[in-house]
Structure 1
Amino acid sequence: MRRHRRLGAIPKLIQIKDEIGPHRHSTAMADLIVFRCPQTGMNVQTDLEKQLRQERRSFASFACPACTRLHFIDLASGQPMSRER
């Protein structure tokens, strides 16, 4: 048997609990590094997360999909290592 609702009746809504919180997009999204490839001049997004400034610089190697070369990226500034550094 089908149950018929009265006209104008508002259906009950189910409350969904959000375990992550209301600001999940701003806190869960990582600040990924995007740098300009020194060989091609193209903007390249990495899978490296930007880190807070530290006393010592820390670099991570990244295989660039634009030029297929290996770049060393400063994790604090997001800039590739240059010949001057």
Structure 2
Amino acid sequence: MTALQRDGADCLVRLYNSSPELKSFSLVVDGELEQVSAVELDGWLIGELKVTAGKPEHRSIIALTLQPFGPATVRLHDLSGHNECNR
């Protein structure tokens, strides 16, 4: 993770794959998220991402794949009841 940024009630998570290989991983967030999107660096919507409920309860898991040497930005929608981006 390269950065977290608050945008109203949303949180932008910026990621970067510094490897020359495709990398798959999961982003785990404490709390139940209803909507997560992949967005361009300037905020334009790329598409919705699937959110899976995790264990223990009240966790959200987002599966991601990053291109070699590629950036990615994920928008966690409406975190008004969460504190992840307030730190």
Would you call these one fold, judging by a TM-score over 0.5? no
Q: In proportion to residue count, which structure has more strand? A: 2
Larger RCO (alpha carbons 8 Å, 6+ apart): 2
Normalising by structure 2, we get a TM-score of: 0.28
Which of the two has higher C-alpha Rg? Answer: 1
